Structure 1
Amino acid sequence: MGTDLVLSDFEPTVRFKDTLAVSPDGRFFAYVDDALGQFNLAVRPMSGGGPRYLTSYSGSTARAVSWHPDGRSLLHIADTGGNEAYQLYLVDVETGVRTALTDAPGSAFHPAIGDPFSPDGKLLAYAGNDRNPADQDVLVRDLVSGEVRRVFDRGGRVYAGHWSPDGTRLTVTEWRGATTDRVVHVVHVDDGRIERLTPEDTAATFQIGPWLPGGDGVLVLTDLGRDLAGLAVLDVATRELTWIDQPVWDVEEVALSRDGSTLAWLVNVDGASQLKVRDLATGRDRPVPALPPGHAAQLRLTADGRRVVVRMSTPTVPWNVLSVDLDSGEQAWLTDARPAVDASVFVEPVLVRYPARDGTTVPAYLYRPPSPGDEVPVVVAIHGGPPTQERPTYSNDGLFQYLASRGVAVLAPNIRGSSGYGLAYQRAVHRDWGGIDLSDLDDAARYLKDQPWVGRLGLLGRSYGGFAVLSCVSRLPEHDWAAAVAWCAPSNLVTFTRSQPPTWRTQVAIMVGDPDTDTEFLTGRSPFTHADRIRAPLFLIQGANDPRVPRPESDQIVARLRGRGIGVRYDIYPDEGHVFGRSENQHRAHADAAEFLLKHLKKC
């Protein structure tokens, strides 16, 4: 089955970045794709038609797009060569003329989480670490005079949130300690006063959403008093929390129409996205059609609240932009990224749950090809993060579907540390990298070996997933892994934690460990320490400019293995960082990884 197919047959015609903006008049949407060979900013009409590109980057990556309230310009950020030193730019929608708003190559800037522009369009809110590399402040720029004020500079890692309807206040989210402890403040922009809205004595996640139309409350996604995130209103005067939705799954995104009429939110139901909509005039939920069974993100509403726009992917449909008409219920794909291969070759993943040794059941998506009486090799694919989640999407740009077409199954587990299954499940891996997570992967291998149809086992992972791959081959060699691919993988937790960007170090110390006080523990959990036990064929992929997992993480374990005379393939991409931007590089890395796995798993 599928032996004449190659990976490029499965790759989508374009890839999309995780950003989306709808014009104030609802006639256009802006996004970022790599049709030009690198990620660039494009605009399309909602009514249909092709893209018009407003940037032409070849060495930079555009991200985080927002529309100015007057509809005439777009804000975005871009870095160079994957270095993540993001700078802010305004682009004229008609002429494509770009204006740099920041110019500090050693610093990184991030636009506000909500609409970064004040309602009157005169002010721009963003965060940056230009004052001190270890501190991320909130800044407000006057777009007329160019004056920049630092409105929140208490240290730590903070982000601008949402402007109040009258433009006098700005919410700010402060990441304190672990990523699951976030505090909400309100800054009075005129006089600089700062008020804390969330409780002083309770650690909880507060993901801030828009203000209510009257300016008396802020929408938040929070797990306060819960193990899962619900949707609530936080009263800015009384600090009281009023729940809107408390499902048995996480609420993960919320949007409010500019006219204040319509509220929409997404619920993560076992990895699949469920859309909910409420008419704020009546207080009643509106009937909405079910989304395609997959993952929706970047939830947006048109200004009049009549249409929802999201990025959407399913296991057989690559990421595209989807529109939902809330009056008619009609759904329409606004973009058409697709693979060349006929969809008849695709397999639908099955959500399985395998037992862990402590009684927990671990969810995983299994992509199993038809196997009439034959043993099937299986790749255990481990997601990054760790607080992310394997979901029913066209994963890894079709790589899973390609492997299945070549007779190789993929098991993509959500081991402890994954998001989507509650706070306790996610926090289980804090300061325990290579502990409970590795135990879950050990149990995944044992589960697979108990299946009569399973043959050789391989491994694939990127970032934290790459660390997990290296941990498996170095600390669980008894599973006789047939092949392993690790992409941008931490190998030494001491050097890895010491190398983190300054604004991340507090969170990394809590989530992974402190390299100064936990040296012995981190050394013991490092794949580098156990490298002498590696006997599986190994392929490492590394971006030379990666600021999150710097190149020495791969260099040192490769040197250790080659010093023992152990062959290891090592590909370095000189013009890439942690997330590859250039289309040709992404294709080459995926294709080489796939062929490496196929060669060793199928002995062909």
Structure 2
Amino acid sequence: MTQIAPLGSWKSPITTDLIVAGTIGLSSITIDGNNVYWIEGRPSEGGRNVIVGRTPDGQTTDITPPPFNVRTRVHEYGGGAFLVADNTIYFSNFADQRLYRQTPGTEPQPLTPEANLRYADAVIDKHRDRLICIQEDHTKGGEPVNRIVSINLKNGEDIQTLAEGYDFYASPRLSPDGSQLCWISWNHPNMPWDGTELWVAPVNTDGSLGKMKLVAGGKEESIFQPQWSPDGMLCFVSDRSKWWNLYQVPGVTETANVDPLYPLDAEFGMPQWVFGMSTYSFTETNKILCTFAQNGIGHLATLHTTKKHLQEIEIPYTSIGSLKTKGDRAYLLGSSSTKPGAIIEINLSTGDINVLKSSTNLQIDSGYLSIPQAIEFPTENGKTAYGLFYPPTNKDYTAPLGEKPPLLVKSHGGPTAATSSSLSLKIQYWTSRGFALFDVNYGGSTGYGRDYQQRLKNNWGIVDVDDCVNGAKYLAKQGLVDSNRMTISGGSAGGYTTLCALIFRNVFKAGASYYGVSDLEALATDTHKFESRYLDGLIGLYPEEKEIYQQRSPINFTESLSCPVIFFQGLEDQVVPPNQAEKMVEVLKEKGLPVAYVAFPEEQHGFRRSENIKRALDGEFYFYSRVFGFTPADNLEVVEIINL
């Protein structure tokens, strides 16, 4: 029998202890022969990233021994941190950023010398006994230099530059016979989803590159995941049609044409925040297995490259990534609103699905899970925006008659990113305690075409804020939430949206900023290379349009803030330095507004340690309980709230 209890006070089995103890991160599926490898990010090991291998008989083994941590800091966000070739693993170690070589069961040995150099996105060049990868050079001070290099596998100090001159490089890929290399490159102020160029060059007998040819792309066209077919056909994803679609180049010559494989108003690519992302893979010479997204939902399909025929495959997953194939087997990272993220194996001949590794072994009763509802709502200038609404759900409780739930609006990071319908225990933590949650895909989010993504151009801090505010007001108008208990929370860029919404609007009654931006000028002048010109497109040129930066910086308008805020910050964050949060906290203290600041000395941009993930989630809930005056069922660690 259900109990009647105030919303926010419901007791839930989805605790932070359960979340951090039973949940790992999964990424970077790699195939070598008949073995499958992936990375597990383990909060219980201080966020250490471990390569795990699986043999055909189903045995899984940790490959990476402690204290090694498989993570590269190229572009700060990393990705593409390891590869496996002929049973030998090559990986980037987080502590020193050197490349290491390892065979299973042996200790890793350094391949590259000690230097202030970082590596990512490597491929093996078997014909010349070398690796080809991205190198980020921090040896000279100032902005680092990015280039494509080769590394001699017999002598790791023999490093040759293959391509340089652009600000950024990614995806160096050799043709099957080793005769050609393709890659993408781009320059400031573009981000890779704004515009990149696809290049191809022959590989000379001495290993250097011959005449380089621009195949596709430019300042207004984003190229994603170039890849060679088994017979040497170059394929890639481009958004030249305003949607990321698949294309091929039938013979890379001076007069080569670029042919669409299957035009569709759908996204076959995604914003390249990290290296090594994969949304398609060849299963045969003329057959691709691919994933695409429509209206925020992922689909899996086969695409015949000569017949131009797309055939969807029904699977119980709505979010799909890290797609790889080997023969009639497909491997992917899949999840849905009821299934946690997992490494999945699919037999393409029979349709059988095998879960190789789940991000959690926890079995959550469906009576505690809130199923998201896709919401379209009106926003400024007659436009439509999107989001996922999670109503409060707990089979053991009902709310008192007439009580409407408090609302937590989540503004995702990026801001060029998107929320997902994947099962998130962090979201279910809130909904199972009696909160409603609205995960907003504000204008600028990906998954709805290039035009929707471009809504943030020169409008960051306006469009995203309007959409979060209008989404909350829409839900209140529909009678789904309590308009007097609406909060907003976000991390990084989502933290900026949160702070703007709290300062420049008066809809939300409280908020939480996770390593959020409060000073746009500081971000423009004190951040890493990858994002150092990101704001040119989101805000405007700096310092030429300095006044706009000042007008949209929450730190300059704290006098307009009239509600409580809690801040969470990693003290080793190089993306959003701690001084931005600390400046805001000091101003709020002086103003007499309730404010809390929770700092984590050993965290960077995003929290990886289990004790800090727990502290932050429980701390935010505790903060709202004090602000809104409800009593949590959990015995939460107290957070010091100044001025309360």
Q: Normalized against structure 2, the TM-score is what?
A: 0.85
Structure 2 partner of 1:294: 318
Are residue 188 (structure 1) and residue 202 (structure 2) matched? yes
Structure 1 partner of 2:638: none
Are residue 167 (structure 1) and residue 167 (structure 2) matched? no
Match of 1:316 among 338, 341, 349: 338
Superposition CA RMSD, Å = 2.6
Secondary structure at the counterpart of residue 421 of structure 1? coil
Secondary structure at the counterpart of residue 64 of structure 1? coil
Secondary structure at the counterpart of residue 420 of structure 1? coil
Question: 2: distance between equivalents of 1:73 and 1:67?
Answer: 8
Runs of 5+ consecutive residues of structure 1 not aligned to the other structure: none
Match of 1:391 among 420, 441, 444: 420
Kept after mapping to 2: 8 A contact 1:69/1:120: no
Match of 1:19 among 23, 28, 31: 28
Match of 1:9 among 6, 18, 31: 18
Question: 1: distance between equivalents of 2:196 and 2:230?
Answer: 24
State the identity %: 19
Question: 2: distance between equivalents of 1:186 and 1:359?
Answer: 44
Deviation at 1:245, TM superposition (A): 1.8
1:320-335 matched pairs, under 5 angstroms: 320-335=342-357
Q: CA 1:308–1:244 in structure 2 vs 1: closer, same or farther (change >3 Å)?
A: same
Deviates more, 1:264-273 or 1:590-599: 590-599
Residue type of the partner of 2:91?
H
Deviates more, 1:38-47 or 1:530-539: 38-47
Match of 2:110 among 99, 102, 110: 99
Are residue 466 (structure 1) and residue 475 (structure 2) matched? no
Secondary structure at the counterpart of residue 93 of structure 2? strand
Question: 2: distance between equivalents of 1:59 and 1:327?
Answer: 37
Secondary structure at the counterpart of residue 587 of structure 1? helix
Question: 2: distance between equivalents of 1:286 and 1:119?
Answer: 34
Secondary structure at the counterpart of residue 547 of structure 1? coil
Kept after mapping to 1: 8 A contact 2:45/2:609: no
Kept after mapping to 2: 8 A contact 1:288/1:326: no
Kept after mapping to 2: 8 A contact 1:13/1:338: yes
Structure 1 partner of 2:408: 379
Deviation at 1:524, TM superposition (A): 0.3
Are residue 447 (structure 1) and residue 484 (structure 2) matched? no
Q: CA 1:462–1:232 in structure 2 vs 1: closer, same or farther (change >3 Å)?
A: same
Match of 2:214 among 194, 197, 202: 197
Q: CA 1:22–1:219 in structure 2 vs 1: closer, same or farther (change >3 Å)?
A: same
Residue type of the partner of 1:141?
I
Structure 1 partner of 2:134: 127
Kept after mapping to 2: 8 A contact 1:309/1:322: yes
Question: 1: distance between equivalents of 2:109 and 2:363?
Answer: 35
Structure 2 partner of 1:427: 454
Residue type of the partner of 2:385?
V
Are residue 277 (structure 1) and residue 302 (structure 2) matched? yes
Structure 2 partner of 1:457: 486
Runs of 5+ consecutive residues of structure 2 not aligned to the other structure: 4-9, 73-78, 270-277, 632-644
Question: 2: distance between equivalents of 1:245 and 1:598?
Answer: 51
Structure 2 partner of 1:64: 80
1:226-265 matched pairs, under 5 angstroms: 226-235=241-250, 236-237=252-253, 238-252=255-269, 253-257=278-282, 260=285, 262-265=287-290
Deviation at 1:601, TM superposition (A): 4.4
Structure 2 partner of 1:534: 561
1:24-35 matched pairs, under 5 angstroms: 25-34=33-42
Kept after mapping to 1: 8 A contact 2:81/2:91: yes
The CA deviation string for residues 347-399 of structure 1, in whole angstroms up to 9 with x for no partner, is 1100011111322111100010256643111100011011111111123xx11
The CA deviation string for residues 128-154 of structure 1, in whole angstroms up to 9 with x for no partner, is 231663431111112123321111111
Match of 2:50 among 32, 40, 43: 40
Secondary structure at the counterpart of residue 68 of structure 1? strand
Q: CA 1:61–1:209 in structure 2 vs 1: closer, same or farther (change >3 Å)?
A: closer
Deviation at 1:89, TM superposition (A): 2.7
Deviation at 1:265, TM superposition (A): 1.1
Question: 2: distance between equivalents of 1:119 and 1:12?
Answer: 41
Residue type of the partner of 1:556?
K
Deviation at 1:463, TM superposition (A): 0.7
Question: 1: distance between equivalents of 2:604 and 2:288?
Answer: 37
Deviation at 1:194, TM superposition (A): 4.3
Kept after mapping to 2: 8 A contact 1:355/1:443: yes
Deviation at 1:234, TM superposition (A): 2.5
Q: CA 1:218–1:139 in structure 2 vs 1: closer, same or farther (change >3 Å)?
A: same
Residue type of the partner of 1:137?
R
Question: 1: distance between equivalents of 2:350 and 2:570?
Answer: 47
Deviation at 1:58, TM superposition (A): 7.5
Are residue 573 (structure 1) and residue 600 (structure 2) matched? yes
Q: CA 1:254–1:245 in structure 2 vs 1: closer, same or farther (change >3 Å)?
A: farther
Question: 1: distance between equivalents of 2:310 and 2:479?
Answer: 48
Question: 1: distance between equivalents of 2:587 and 2:185?
Answer: 40
Kept after mapping to 2: 8 A contact 1:277/1:287: yes
Q: CA 1:199–1:221 in structure 2 vs 1: closer, same or farther (change >3 Å)?
A: closer
Kept after mapping to 1: 8 A contact 2:493/2:517: yes
Question: 2: distance between equivalents of 1:205 and 1:494?
Answer: 27
Question: 1: distance between equivalents of 2:390 and 2:578?
Answer: 32
The CA deviation string for residues 531-551 of structure 1, in whole angstroms up to 9 with x for no partner, is 112122211111111111111
Matched residues, number: 585
Are residue 210 (structure 1) and residue 224 (structure 2) matched? no
Structure 1 partner of 2:88: 73
Kept after mapping to 2: 8 A contact 1:40/1:57: no
The CA deviation string for residues 305-333 of structure 1, in whole angstroms up to 9 with x for no partner, is x1110111222222210111100000111
Kept after mapping to 2: 8 A contact 1:277/1:286: yes
Question: 1: distance between equivalents of 2:91 and 2:292?
Answer: 27
Deviation at 1:469, TM superposition (A): 0.5
Structure 1 partner of 2:124: 117
Question: 1: distance between equivalents of 2:45 and 2:109?
Answer: 18
Residue type of the partner of 1:299?
L
